[in-house]
Amino acid sequence: MTRTIRSLADAARHNMFVVAECRDCERQARFLASDLASMFGFGRSLSSLRFRCTRCDTTNCKVMPELPGFERKHETVVWRPTKIKG
């Protein structure tokens, strides 16, 4: 049975990554779904997450879930979200 991952709670339940990819320069960043869910709420949908590319300074990013371990890379860089007091 296949289910669509719609919220951060669904992705966190399956221990998935959330990949944000810039549509302009194709730069990618991976986050743990559980980290994003604890920061933005477990009911938040993946399509409502907004990311800004640090290379080309645009918000034109696509957000998709990804299961870990299917690529042949030996190491994966995982970004951790933080709140900054201003």
pLDDT per residue over 32-53, tens digit each? 999 999 999 999 999 899 999 9
Rounded Cα distance, 77 and 60, in Å = 21
The CA distance from 82 to 78, in Å, is 13
Q: Per-residue pLDDT for 20 more than 50? A: yes
So what's the pLDDT on residue 38? 92
Give the model's pLDDT for residue 43.
92
DSSP structure class, residue 45:
B
* Mean pLDDT for the stretch of residues 47-66: 92
- Residue 22's CB is within 10 A of a number of other CB atoms, namely 21
- Does the pLDDT value for residue 74 go beyond 80? no
The residue written with tokens 């604890």 in the block is 38
Spell out the domain ranges in the chain.
8-79
Mean pLDDT, rounded, of the chain: 88
